[in-house]
Amino acid sequence: MHHDITQILTDLINGTLPLGQVHFPTSTIPNPRTSPCLVLIVDTACEALFFSSGDAPLQPALSLNINFGKQQLTLQLQRDNSLLQQLQVARRGPRVGAFLLQTLSELQMQPDDQETARLVVLSLLSHCRDLLGSDIHTASRSRALFEAIRHYIEEQHASALTRESVAQAFYISPNYLSHLFQNTGNVGFNEYLTQTRLEHARQLLKGYDLKIKDIAAICGFMDSNYFCRLFRKHTERSPSEYRRQYHSQLTAKK
């Protein structure tokens, strides 16, 4: 048995080290302030223990403890409660890990469905190995996260988005979200959200004969008067004036 975190993950994923029972302790009371944790008892037939807690239980054997913090993944290899190796990596990019953790949490209600539990645990371990094996620089990871959030805002701009709700969707802090937009996008989060919504409004004004209040609602502005004030501030025209001017220019070109 290799006493190396990456090798243990690889052996489990490839089936060289079989994954046996997946346990869901019923005595653990979920605490929303703590992080999900996966403990692997590394033996000839490895067993897994999944629970929502910040502290892994003491294990009198070789164990791999994986703590899924909101922004950081921490893996600790221990024997008889002595730390042998520790690795940490930022949780960035697609929300694969978050979805798998949610699935495991729901499986606590059906602990007898071991086949599904094992598949989810193995998928989660594969995700962890991918994060550890990534040689992408921090700047590139920040850019990838920024682009993912931009795409999310583009798709969800009509929703009641806030700095807090978007940060929660990507398991990062609101302050880090602001930092990401300022440093990577050179723009504030609220300013970017407003620009995105106004751009969609301009396209609707050009292409559709919709009421101004309907366009405001479609683009995520709950108050049409506020939308009109904001539109004028950014374009020096009201939405109606913008529409008339655009169609007048089209007519003049014919």
How much is the pTM?
A: 0.50
Q: Rounded to an integer, what is the distance from CA 215 to the centroid of its chain?
A: 30
Distance CA 146, CA 141 (A): 8
Element (DSSP H or E) covering residue 165: helix 163-169
How would you classify the pairing of strands 46-52 and 36-41? Answer: antiparallel
The rounded distance, in Å, linking the Cα atoms of 67 and 154 is 32
Please check whether residue 113 is in contact with residue 32, taking contact to mean a CB–CB distance below 8 angstroms.
Answer: no
Task: For residue 67, give Cα distances in angstroms to 15, 19, 35, 75, 121.
Answer: 23, 19, 7, 6, 13
Instruction: Return the pLDDT at 229.
Output: 93
Reduced to 3 states, what is the DSSP secondary structure of residue 171?
coil
Please tell me the number of Cα atoms within 13 Å of 151 on its side-chain side: 9
What are 174-180's contacts with CB under 8 Å, separation 24+?
176/71, 177/149, 180/142, 180/145, 180/146, 180/149
Encode burial over 85-110: b for 16+ CB neighbours within 10 A, e otherwise: eebebbbbbeeebbebbebbeebbee
**What is the pLDDT, as a whole number, of residue 226?**
94
Tell me what pLDDT residue 251 has. 72
Based on its alpha-carbon atoms, the radius of gyration of the chain, rounded to whole angstroms, reads 25
pLDDT digits (tens, 9 = 90+) for 102-132: 888 888 888 888 999 999 999 999 998 888 8
Residues of the chain with pLDDT under 50: 1, 27-30, 54-55, 135-136
Residue ranges with strand state E in 9-94? 19-23, 36-41, 46-52, 62-68, 72-79, 82-90
Residue-level pLDDT at 109: 84
Helix or strand (DSSP H, E) at 174: helix 174-184
Q: Give all domains of the chain, ordered by start, each with its CATH number.
A: 5-133 (no CATH), 138-190 (1.10.10), 196-253 (1.10.10.60)
